[in-house]
Structure 1
Amino acid sequence: MAREAEVSRILVFGGTGYIGKHIVRASISLGHPTCIYARPTGPQTGPSNLNLRLEFRSVGINIIEGELEEHEKIVAALKQVDIVISALAYPQVLDQLKIIDAIIAAGNIKRFVPSDFGSEEDKITPLPPFEEFLEKKRKIRRAIEAASIPFTFITANCFAAYFVNLLLHPHNPHDEIVVYGDGEANAVLNYEEDIGKYTIKVANDPRACNRVVTYRPKSNIISQHQLISLWEEKTGRSFKRVCVPEEDLVKLSQTLPPPENIPVSILHSIFVKGDLMSYEIKEDDLEASRMYPEMQFTTIDQLLDIFLTDPPEPARAAFE
């Protein structure tokens, strides 16, 4: 019983979303009493979301249905947990201010992990559409700091399965693969299941309190050309590499209407500028694979094997 008393109770906002479901599954697998705050179901709720809720309820996850405007309901939910993790999609980034207000009112939360899970917004300056989005994330970070809420900010870099689908289109029998820029910039691709596991670990780790944790294992640093070559080696096929020049992406970022201009700006940041690798991880910085050497990130090589043997379904846009 003493051990149970030490296990943190976790509430996840956006727990039925793209990365949220992996965080929820990891929380349960690591033994944490877990609940989700999610929108009520309705005619617009898709079958996959409904099935996910059935899966979660079957393993004892409490799903609290409510809107982010329901302050008192959120406060009541927060009073029953220790750690709050937000996995809200980017259109809802500023809605996290409502979560912050509720955390202040509840007064008992030991750690808040806001919805970052991407680029390190305090260290890069991408094209204006992506920069505008990152500025919203910075606003959330600064609000958390100003409220003196114990936090962990996570820089998870790329969702690997999503970007493998985007870059390689492994489900489709074609002979062309698009390369953004010169294809030489290094990116960091981390498997979504791993992001879920490490997020639960760092949310409970005293070392990560009021710190930024970056997920940058050496085995997951790869360029587009290296990724394509590895895929060619595994499939025994050869692909024509069709390059999209940097100036084309810049022009699209300037001419496409919002929010369509954001994904091309993200592609430019990651695969042309190499923003994910543009800064050094210093000795006193927190990096997940160094923090937990006993755990192993899924390597890019292993991820491509997964696509060959049991391919994940193409993800809906992680930018939604």
Structure 2
Amino acid sequence: MSDCKNVLIFGATGLVGRHIIQQILKGKNAFDRIAIFTSSDTVNSKSEEIAILKDQGVEVLVGNITDENDVKKAYQGVDTVISAVGRNMIEHQVELIRLADQTPNIHRFFPSEYGTDIEHGPESSGEKPHQRKLKVRASIRSCKNLDYTFLVTGPYADGDPVLYLSPNHGATVTGSFDVRTKTAVLLGSGDLKIAFTTMADVGKLLLAALTYPDVSRNKALKVKSFTTTDADLLEEFEKQTGGEKWKVSYTSIEELKRLEKEAWEMANPLATVITLRRIWATGGTLYDKWDNEAIGSPAVQSLAEAVAAAIDVQLHGERELKRKLV
């Protein structure tokens, strides 16, 4: 089986891509080449971040992700493609996969899967947020020459805007943890179990999948940092913010479903987020067995560590981001 030694990453300066590239760099001795594909706009708007990556030995390839010739050029000398593109570019991965399948030197593709399991059960095929990822899975499974790995992580246990450990401004009623106001909205009665992965651990677990290519070949790897409840998260937030009890309210699953239906009917941009939160709260992240052990049981963050990082992000924002990049 071919090793994953020469990697190309799409979306390396995005929300989760930043964490993926940093973890791969921590294990860079295992690779012969680490490259990212990015646009000229990103090179200009994120010049400091790009400079840091170059200083760490990353090869920066500049082009247009929708230009076939740019992508073909970037694919030369690469054996593994890692995609961390955002939701707006999910379906374009079908074209990236087609081109990769036609490139003899490429043998493995990691699509931008990180998050909810889109094949968790029979009902998954009908979930609106899953449709584009399902098309991507279908396209890669139909390839003649290309292997794949789907890294299924569950929701991100981070404090960045909209993520689970954030204030979730604009949709607080669908679940939130606000460090500044010490208020929280818990789903159900607060005791529903959800399996989480921090974005840093997404990077660690993807690195592990790269270093166990036989184990991860043509599989959906279900991985996590920890499983917990909203009530346990709240308790940790209270503990780490001085011990004072927060002001808490609750949103029932029935109310969450009502808000979800209304959001889709009104074409609310938050409809996808609400649907995903309903899926998470109703068991859509739980399994009898996870695959962390199969890829070497990489050290992952604890609930307490995730909450500490979320508090830092909520209070310090951009400063915390820059700290993570060095």
| Alignment equivalent of 1:199, drawn from 191, 206, 218 | 206
**2:128 maps to what in 1?**
132
Confirm or deny: 8 A CA contact 1:76 1:106 kept in the other structure.
no
In the TM superposition, residue 164 of structure 1 has moved relative to its aligned partner by 1.6
Letter aligned with residue 40 of structure 1: S
| Alignment equivalent of 1:119, drawn from 103, 106, 116 | 116
In the TM superposition, residue 280 of structure 1 has moved relative to its aligned partner by 2.3
- CA–CA distance in 2 between the matches of 1:291 and 1:193? 16
| Alignment equivalent of 1:254, drawn from 233, 257, 261 | 261
1:36 corresponds to 2:36: yes
1:101 corresponds to 2:101: no
| Alignment equivalent of 2:228, drawn from 222, 228, 250 | 222
Confirm or deny: 8 A CA contact 2:209 2:216 kept in the other structure.
yes
| Alignment equivalent of 1:303, drawn from 296, 303, 306 | 306
**2:178 maps to what in 1?**
169
In the TM superposition, residue 290 of structure 1 has moved relative to its aligned partner by 4.9
| Alignment equivalent of 1:190, drawn from 177, 193, 197 | 197
SS at match of 1:106: coil
Change (3 A) 1:187 1:195: same
SS at match of 1:159: coil
Change (3 A) 1:243 1:311: closer
Change (3 A) 1:230 1:291: same
| Alignment equivalent of 2:141, drawn from 127, 142, 145 | 145
SS at match of 1:100: helix
Confirm or deny: 8 A CA contact 1:126 1:269 kept in the other structure.
no
**2:171 maps to what in 1?**
none
**2:107 maps to what in 1?**
110
Q: How many residues align?
A: 295
| Alignment equivalent of 1:80, drawn from 63, 77, 81 | 77
In the TM superposition, residue 58 of structure 1 has moved relative to its aligned partner by 2.0
**2:321 maps to what in 1?**
none
- CA–CA distance in 1 between the matches of 2:42 and 2:134? 33
In the TM superposition, residue 182 of structure 1 has moved relative to its aligned partner by 2.2
In the TM superposition, residue 29 of structure 1 has moved relative to its aligned partner by 1.6
- CA–CA distance in 2 between the matches of 1:24 and 1:254? 37
Q: Which aligned segments of 4 or more residues in structure 1 are displaced greater than 3 angstroms?
A: 124-128, 305-315
Confirm or deny: 8 A CA contact 2:98 2:143 kept in the other structure.
no
Which runs of no fewer than 5 residues in structure 2 stay unpaired?
168-175, 319-326
In the TM superposition, residue 127 of structure 1 has moved relative to its aligned partner by 11
1:8 corresponds to 2:5: yes
| Alignment equivalent of 1:263, drawn from 268, 273, 281 | 273
SS at match of 2:133: helix
Listed one character per residue, the Cα deviations across residues 142-191 of structure 1 (whole Å, up to 9, x for unaligned) are 11011132011110112111422243222x1x242111222221112222
**1:3 maps to what in 2?**
none
Confirm or deny: 8 A CA contact 2:7 2:35 kept in the other structure.
yes
Q: Percent identity?
A: 18
Change (3 A) 1:307 1:105: closer
Which runs of no fewer than 5 residues in structure 1 stay unpaired?
1-5, 316-320
**2:284 maps to what in 1?**
275
- CA–CA distance in 2 between the matches of 1:192 and 1:53? 20
In the TM superposition, residue 24 of structure 1 has moved relative to its aligned partner by 1.0
TM-score, normalised by the number of residues in structure 1: 0.84
